Amino acid sequence: MGRGYRVFFVDNNDGLLKVSFARWDRLNSRHPKECFPEYAAKRLRYIFVVLELEEKKPLYINYIDCGYVTFDVAGKEDQEDWERQMQLVANSIDQLGPEANEGNVINAQTKFLRRSYNHKYRWDFSDGMLERLIKTIFGRCGEETDDQRV
């Protein structure tokens, strides 16, 4: 068994556009030549799926992440938005150590920051979209390399 990844951009009509994992990885790694000019200066929903594979065929879904990616005017991932997102993630991590749990006062700041992060950078799909996603993933065999509308 192995692990596979699928990435989809979601348009305003809940249409799915399959994006090759190689392009997604280059985008997130800030590869100097990777860009999506058709999404320049836009914010797009994405679905990232981790699969268990056997002989390149998906067996089951391990994990699904639904978030937003913001593109700059050149169609690259917006660096400032990414930094704001990572700062919010870092600030929403619970404090570690016994002093974090001392006393009768509860530090709600991390809870509020986590809620803010989820509100700004996460979204939930409908049951219908989940069904289409599952049909798209399990209705195909092998790994496609080109971006395509599904």
Going by C-beta distance under 8 Å and a sequence separation of 6 or more, which residues neighbour residue 25?
none
- pLDDT for 92 equals 79
Q: Domain span at residue 54?
A: 2-149
* Tokens encoding 137: 């993933």
CA 68, CA 85: separation in Å to the nearest integer? 10
pLDDT tens digits, residue range 108-141?
Answer: 777 888 889 899 999 998 888 999 999 999 985 4
Question: How does the average pLDDT of the chain come out, rounded?
Answer: 86
Whether pLDDT at 89 is above 50: yes
pLDDT tens digits, residue range 37-85?
Answer: 999 999 999 999 999 999 989 999 999 999 999 999 999 999 999 999 9
The model's pTM = 0.82
Looking at the structure of the chain, the number of domains it has is 1
